[in-house]
Chain A
Amino acid sequence: MHPKKIHTPLDKETILSLHAGEHVFLSGDVYTLRDAAHKRLVGLYDSHHLVGKEREKKLDISGQIVYYTGLTPLLPHGCPGSAGPTTSARMDKYTTRLLDAGMAGMIGKGPRGMDIVRSIRDHQSIYFVAVGGAGAFLAQRIKKAEIVAFDDLGCEAVFRLSVEDFPLWVGVDSKGKTMWDTMLG
């Protein structure tokens, strides 16, 4: 069966239609975000006097898909050589705060904590799993990469990536069902 093709920004209808374990090809813009950028972003969101100002500086993640990755440096043609997912569970501590801020979904590798699964259900969000260790393969499907925030963080800076047919599996769906439940069942 061919994977379903979906595009960002993901509308509610699409998110609600996807089920745990389903294979999809995602195209459109996603934002890289890993440990250090999570810490800083949540810090900014919690500093109320900065929220409005910083959000205007393209830091508003509401409605966006976040990709847990730290790219290799951009090659002369403007895209990274390698760009696979990092372990999502490390971001669990920050996830509910970002879902509260309107983040639409996440891409990473590995299972999430039960509290995050519930949070994804409560926010009608979605978590996708990419193939860990496939950085070179996945980078080929990045058509454009552009730094949008926190450039002092080096590889942990926030990049907007334009991806095409990014192969993903639904890890946690909007009903709070996980791919790991379906594997055990």
Chain B
Amino acid sequence: MRKIAASEIDELTYHLCVKANCFILEDIKQGLGNALLHSTGRQKDVLSILVENVELAEQTRVPICQDTGIVVVFMDIGQEVMVVDGYIEEAINSGVRRAYHDAYLRNSVVSDPIIRKNTDDNTPAMIHTRIVKGSSLRLIVMPKGSGGENMSGLWMFKPADGVNEIVNTLVMHVKQVGAFSCPPLIIGVGIGGSFEVAPLLAKRALLRQIGESHPEHHIAEIEHKLLEKINRLKIGPAGLGGSPTVLSVNIETCATHIASLPVAMNLCCYANRHCEGTL
């Protein structure tokens, strides 16, 4: 067994929280830059502000967005890893707590969904754990704001519905809610699994680089169709009209039941903040 100290997990979480909130990923920066190059008028004004925003955040180390999110953590633990000197989830929450305090990130978590009292340290993180082969521990930290989350959805289609029905439903949904989020959007779609699996697939789909198609041709085709149709909605950057409305549509799939066709869509703002590290 390989021993990893809980304090190392704490430290890694800390750094990933700060980095994800202040530094945008290169593929997204390029996507935004390309969109700016092809824009005119009001779209150009808005995209220039967004490009300047990410540059400012990086240079002055301030958060890209004031909604520094609830912290979603994807953790892959090698089955040969043994965590010592502490409990994993406490270590992750400690990293979140310290990062949000030290880096002046906003505390955006309430302890009870009905009473709604702020926890004042942005914990707990939403942790999704997989036990995998090997002897390393990988963390992906994704601060997720509510602008996109509140506009996301889950649909339980019938197997008879087919691809067109799915595509039309998702496009109609974005038409209704896209402007409430922060376009140009990155859209994660999860197809298959059981009721709880599809939304998690949708969220994991956001982790794929933008513009990189699904390896399976028939899924890549659906991605392409969704991208085209959603961009034809002309919701535009910041919802102020024009193009682009979406920078990337990423689909992840999973096996499912003979009677089921769950589809989940997770909307994400243009910044799609996340970063990863491995111990």
Chain A contact residues, CB within 8 Å of chain B: 23, 36, 69-75, 80-84, 86-87, 89-90, 109-111, 129, 131-137, 139-140, 153-156, 167, 169, 179-180, 183
Instruction: With CB as the reference atom, state the residue of chain B lying closest to A152.
Output: B118
Within B33-78, which residues are at the interface with A (CB < 8 Å)?
42, 45-46, 49-50, 52-54, 56-57, 60, 62-68
Inter-chain CA distance A111–B180, complex, in Å, is 7
B237: chain A residues within 8 A (beta carbon): 131
Main DSSP-derived SS at the B contact region: loop
Structural contact, A72 and B49, CB atoms closer than 8 A: no
Chain A: interface secondary structure?
Answer: mixed
Chain A residues with CB under 8 A of B56: 136-137, 140
Is the CB–CB distance between B271 and A72 below 8 Å?
no
Question: Within 8 Å of chain A (Cβ to Cβ): is B194?
Answer: no
Residues of chain A within 8 A (CB-CB) of B64 are 82, 133, 135-136
A131 touches B63 (CB 8 A): no
A169 CA / B42 CA spacing, docked (Å): 10
Partner of A87, one of B50, B68, B107, B180: B180
Alpha-carbon distance A73/B21, docked complex (angstroms): 14
Any A CB within 8 A of the CB of B270:
yes
- Say whether, besides A86-B147, A136-B57, A129 and B66 are in contact (CB < 8 Å): no
In the complex with contacts A71-B106, A73-B106, A135-B241 CB distance below 8 A = no
B45: shortest Cβ distance to chain A, in Å?
7
Starting from the known contacts A132-B238, A137-B56, 17 additional A-B residue pairs (CB-CB under 8 Å) come to A72-B62, A72-B66, A81-B104, A82-B57, A82-B64, A87-B150, A109-B147, A109-B180, A110-B239, A131-B237, A132-B269, A133-B50, A133-B65, A134-B238, A136-B57, A154-B120, A155-B108
- Per a CB cutoff under 8 Å, which of B62, B107, B120, B238 touches A129? B238
> Lowest 10 CB-CB distances: which A-B pairs, in order?
A81-B62, A133-B182, A132-B182, A137-B53, A82-B66, A110-B180, A135-B66, A136-B57, A82-B63, A183-B241
Q: Which residue of B lies closest to A137 (CB)?
A: B53
Which residues of chain B are within 8 angstroms of A69 by Cβ–Cβ distance? 66
Pair A72/B50 contact, Cβ less than 8 Å: no
Residues of B contacting A155 with CB < 8 Å? 106-108, 118
Are B118 and A134 within 8 A (Cβ)? no
In whole angstroms, what is the CA distance A59 to B116 when docked? 22
How many whole Å from B25's CB to the nearest CB in chain A?
15
One of A71, A109, A136 near B238 (C-beta < 8 A):
A109
How extensive is the interface on chain B, given as a class? 35 or more
Task: State A156–B117 Cα separation when bound (angstroms).
Answer: 11
Interface 1/0 per residue, B87-110 and A, CB below 8 Å: 000000000000000001111100
- Bound-complex Cα distance A81 to B45 (A): 22
Contact A75 B179 (CB under 8 A): no
| Identity of the chain B residue whose Cβ is nearest the Cβ of A83 in the assembled complex | B66
CA distance A113 to B90 in the complex (A): 42
Query: Quick check: B66 and A111 within 8 Å, CB to CB?
Result: no
CA distance A93 to B194 in the complex (A): 35
Q: Can you list 27 pairs linking A and B with CB atoms under 8 Å apart?
A: A36-B116, A70-B108, A71-B106, A72-B63, A72-B104, A82-B64, A82-B106, A89-B180, A109-B182, A110-B180, A131-B53, A132-B269, A133-B64, A133-B182, A134-B49, A134-B50, A136-B57, A136-B62, A136-B63, A137-B49, A137-B50, A137-B53, A137-B56, A140-B56, A153-B118, A154-B120, A155-B107
Q: How far is the CA of A97 from the CA of B53 in the complex (A)?
A: 34
In chain A, what residue has the closest Cβ to B104?
Answer: A73
One digit per residue, 1 when the CB lies within 8 angstroms of any chain A CB and 0 when it does not, for chain B 171-208 equals: 00000000111100000000000000000000000000
Q: Which residue of B lies closest to A133 (CB)?
A: B182
Tell me the bound Cα distance from A105 to B44 in angstroms.
Answer: 26
In the assembled complex, B234 has its CB within 8 A of some CB on chain A: yes
B240 at the A interface (CB under 8 A): yes
Task: Report how far A90 CA is from B54 CA in the complex, Å.
Answer: 26
> Distance in Å from the Cβ of B253 to the closest Cβ of chain A?
29
Bound-complex Cα distance A75 to B104 (A): 7
Q: Compute how far the CA of A75 lies from the CA of B22 in the bound complex, rounded to whole angstroms.
A: 15
Minimum C-beta distance from B27 to chain A (A): 17
Contact yes or no, B239 A109, CB < 8 A = yes
Complex Cα distance A132/B46, Å? 10
CA distance A51 to B234 in the complex (A): 45
